[in-house]
Amino acid sequence: MTPSRRRLAVLAAATAVALVGGSAGTAFADPPADAPEQIRNGDFSDGSSPWFSYGTDSLGVVDGQLCATVAGGLANPWDAGIGHDALPLIAGAEYTLGFDVTATPGGSVAAVLQLGSEPYTGYYSVTAAATPTQQRIERTFVAPTDDDRAQLIFQVGGAAEAQTVCLDNISLRGGNPPEPYVPDTGPRVRVNQVGYLPGGPKNATVVTDATEALPWKLHSASGAVLASGTTTVRGVDEASAQHVHTVDFSSYRTPGQGLTLAVDGEVSHPFDISGTIYDQLRSDALQFFYIQRSGIAIDGDLVGEEYARPAGHLDVAPNQGDTNVPCAAGACDYRLDVRGGWYDAGDHGKYVVNGGIATYQLLSAFERTKNAPTGEFGANLGDGTLRLPERDNGVPDILDEARWELEFLMRMQVPAGKPLAGMAHHKIHDRNWTGLPMRPEDDPEPRELHPPSTAATLNLAAVTAQCARLFAPYDKEFAQRCGSAAKTAYAAAKANPARYAPSSGNGGGPYDDTNVTDEFYWAAVELYLTTGAATYLTDLTASPHHTGDVFDVRGFGWQSVAALGRLDLATVPNGLPAADLARVRASVTTAADGYLAEIGRQAYGLPMPGDPGSYFWGGNGAILNNAVVLATAFDLTGDEKYRDGAVQTMDYILGRNALNISYVTGWGEHAAENQHSRIFGYQLDPSMPKPPAGSIAGGPNAALQDPFVEQLLEGCAPMFCFVDDIASYSTNEVAINWNSALAWVASFVADQGDSAAVPAPTCTVSYTNYGSWEGGTGFTAQVNIRNTGTAPVNGWTARFAFTGDAKVRDAWMADVTQSGATVTAKGESYNSRINPGSSVMFGFNATTGSGANPAPNLVTVNGAACTVS
The residues carrying an active-site annotation are 347, 676, 724, 733
- How large is the greatest C-alpha to C-alpha distance in the chain, in angstroms? 102
Whole-angstrom distance, CA of residue 592 vs CA of residue 551 = 9
- Strand intervals (E) in 145-202: 147-155, 163-174, 189-190, 195-196
Whole-angstrom distance, CA of residue 201 vs CA of residue 631 = 14
Whole-angstrom distance, CA of residue 830 vs CA of residue 843 = 15
**If residue 432 lies in a helix (H) or strand (E), which one and from where to where?**
none
Integer angstrom CA distances of residue 593 from 553, 609, 643 = 11, 14, 12
C-alpha dihedral over 302, 303, 306, 308, to 10 degrees? -50
- Could you give the count of Cα atoms lying within 13 Å of 700 in the half-sphere of its Cβ? 28
**Closest by Cα among 199, 162, 169, 164 to 73:** 162
Buried b (16+ CB within 10 A) or exposed e, 52-84: bbbbbbbbbbeeebbbbbbeeebeebbbbbbbb
Burial class of residue 734, CB neighbours in 10 A (0-12, 13-18, 19+): buried
Buried b (16+ CB within 10 A) or exposed e, 701-720: bbbbbbbbbbebbeebbbbb
Q: How many CB atoms lie within 10 A of CB 132?
A: 11
The phi and psi torsions of 519 (rounded to 5 degrees) equal -65, -40
Could you tell me if 708 and 723 are in contact, meaning their C-beta atoms sit under 8 angstroms apart?
Answer: yes
Whole-angstrom distance, CA of residue 375 vs CA of residue 367 = 9
Q: How many CB atoms lie within 10 A of CB 424?
A: 30
Q: Lay out the sheet containing 763-772: strands in order across.
A: 807-812, 839-847, 778-787, 763-772, 867-868
Q: What crossing angle do the helices spanning 454-470 and 517-531 adopt, rounded to 10°?
A: 20
**Closest by Cα among 675, 664, 345 to 510:** 345
Q: How many CB atoms lie within 10 A of CB 211?
A: 9
Whole-angstrom distance, CA of residue 170 vs CA of residue 16 = 23
**Closest by Cα among 401, 409, 405 to 366:** 401
Integer angstrom CA distances of residue 359 from 339, 351, 376, 495, 734 = 17, 12, 22, 25, 16
Integer angstrom CA distances of residue 740 from 194, 287, 364, 466, 557 = 20, 11, 10, 16, 11
Integer angstrom CA distances of residue 175 from 19, 113, 141, 149 = 22, 15, 11, 14
